[in-house]
Amino acid sequence: MKIVRTIQELRLVLDDGRRGLVPTMGAFHEGHLSLMRAARAECTQVVVSLFVNPAQFGANDDLERYPRDEQRDARAAEEAGVDVLFAPSARRLYPEGFSTWVEVDVAGGEASARPGHFRGVATVCLKLFNLVRPDVAFFGQKDAQQVAVLRQMVSDLNVPVNIRVLPTVRDADGLALSSRNGFLSDEERRHALALPRALQAGRAAPDPVAAARAALNGLEPEYVELLRVGDATLLTAAARVGSTRLIDNVVVEGELA
Ligand code: AMP
């Protein structure tokens, strides 16, 4: 596996094959690795980007404390069969004078809870799509609204990439894997289980939002909402457990393809 840090180096390592891109912010867990393995199975060249994108963090978000361990990530990516790990500095992606942003009109869920978040996501993903020129880009259902936003962007701006979405990988007790789970104390982690459990309770209920809210076991949600992603309806929720913000979703109807 090659680790590249500059746009010039990246251009040199790209080949003519069918290319898969897995955009990430690092601190790899099985969720990230499942995307890399799917890319490996489908593509001849697999590029993983590792970039903690400052543009998608708000002023009160956890950019500073976001977990970073590039050496461990590089080993895990190599074991998953990744060909190229693209790990640029913030200065390389946002040089001085950077002033173009991709704004996808979207409301509800994360868009309303984190103003500016999807502008940062859409901008960095369009940059990565332009730099890597992947045939397929792989994303997790865990961030389902992100998938909806990126599909809207590639459709609206005619970006020649297929967006693939893969199921959320969970711990045995149901908690969705997240790079932020490491911040949870044992007690907070137990408390956090209310989130996936509430979503499961809501999933089959006549009023999914009300049923999920009622099952949150004292966890104060930022939102519990139904969200349309393509042909699927998802029940989504976000909540803070201690100082850690968690999001999760389940499909209520249809299929997230
Ligand atoms: P992140 O590094 O958190 O930006 O995530 C990078 C990619 O991994 C995104 O497409 C996420 O949706 C995906 N991802 C994060 N957690 C999971 C999970 N538990 N299962 C599947 N995919 C995930």
What pLDDT is recorded for position 257? 86
What pLDDT is recorded for position 93? 98
179 in contact with ligand 1, CB cutoff 6 A: yes
* Catalytic status, residue 32: yes
Phi, psi of 166 (to 5 degrees): -115, 150
What pLDDT is recorded for position 223? 98
pLDDT digits (tens, 9 = 90+) for 151-184: 999 999 999 999 999 999 999 999 999 999 999 9
What pLDDT is recorded for position 27? 97
Distance 97 CA to ligand 1 centre (A): 30
35, 125, 246, best to mutate for ligand 1 pocket (most atoms within 8 Å of CB): 35
Phi, psi of 125 (to 5 degrees): -70, -40
What pLDDT is recorded for position 60? 87
**What are the start-end ranges of the H helices in 14-95?**
30-42, 70-79, 90-93
> Residues of the chain whose pLDDT is less than 50?
none
Distance, CA of 163 to CA of 176 (rounded, Å): 21
pLDDT digits (tens, 9 = 90+) for 123-150: 999 999 999 999 999 999 999 999 999 9
30, 143, 166, best to mutate for ligand 1 pocket (most atoms within 8 Å of CB): 143
Whether residue 229 contacts residue 143, with contact meaning beta carbons closer than 8 Å, is answered with no
31 in contact with ligand 1, CB cutoff 6 A: yes
pTM: 0.98
